[in-house]
Amino acid sequence: MPLAPAPQSEICMTDSSLFSNTANAKINLNLSVLGKRPDGYHALDSLVTFAAMGDVLSVSSSDELSLTYKGEFALDLTASLVAKSDDLILKAAKALQKESGISAGAALQLVKSVPLGAGLGGGSADAAACLRLLNRFWKLDWSLEALMSLGAHIGSDVPACVMNAPCRMTGRGEHVTKIDTLPILFCVLVNPRMSVSTAEIFRKLNKPHIGMDALDTNGVPLPVFANHDIFYNYLQNTGNDLLSSAIETAPVIGSVLDAINDTGADISAMTGSGSTCFGLFKDEVSARRAKEKLKAVFPDYWVMSTALKTD
């Protein structure tokens, strides 16, 4: 992997209030599963972008690496981990520390605002935010490409989350190509406050095995998304191959999609392996109105409206 040299001078720590980073929620706008690879992973092709909202990771000076949690889903995160060392944030911090040869520590705090097991990037987005944040905090001056390369060893979604911009993910997710143009988009996100097992969803899919010769393909070239019509047409023609398996596992997903359609969304879909679904809109007002309608229908669900990153 490409590595940046470790700094030779003493690290200068500045005001810790300047050091925070948003782990923007990842949204798979579509998701094609091409088959099962010889290494056990599935070969994917997905158009990805990121919400303007997400978890927030902050850092302050410390001799050791540490991580604390707060926020709406902090207790859920703690309960999901066998040990805190399993958290991808700490894995990312330790990997960056090791590969850069730095001895400095960091006191990290995560405000967990995005539900777990929701198809929104979760730990991968948090790990990516950690890499971006500590690269700046420790003054390592690594390139984005170097951080993405390191991130690929932490999780399949981490490179895309490090890029944190519209992109196409292929391979098992580690091959990332930036998309230069997306139309202005807003969305409503709905999670029924339940997580689904990604492994179970893929098992139900039962895709055939594919050979090594199919692993390097980037698929059919993407159209130029010059306007909403071209973009929506592409999404409608590709879809999410995991949707049927997800609905079989969690039928509520189908009900959520129906409710999103009833708000007048241009498109409704599921992100990743679920259980979060989204509706796309051309303007912010429509997305906010949809949010209010959906909160009335699902008062106990997690419902958010947000802009989507287009560059």
Q: Which residues contact 118 (CB under 8 A, 6 or more apart)?
A: 191, 195, 271, 272, 274, 275, 276, 302
Of residues 254, 248, 246, the one with CA closest to residue 272: 246
- Return the closest-CA partner of residue 57 out of 158, 126, 113, 144: 126
- Burial-class residue 290 by CB neighbours within 10 Å (0-12, 13-18, 19+): buried
- Do residues 228 and 246 touch, judged by C-beta distance below 8 A? no
Closest CA to 59 of 162, 7, 130: 130
Asked whether 256 and 189 are in contact (CB, 8 A), the reply is no
Identify residue 49 by its one-letter amino acid code.
T
Query: Which of 126, 157, 241, 266 is the catalytic position?
Result: 157
Q: What torsion, rounded to 10 degrees, do the Cα atoms 299, 79, 242, 220 define?
A: 110
Is 157 an active-site residue? yes
304 three-state secondary structure: strand
CA 303 → CA 58, 70, 231, 257, 262, distances in Å? 25, 20, 24, 13, 15
Distance CA 100, CA 3 (A): 7
The candidate with the shortest Cα–Cα distance to 167, out of 310, 6, 9, is 310
Residue 91 annotated as catalytic: no
Catalytic residues: 26, 157
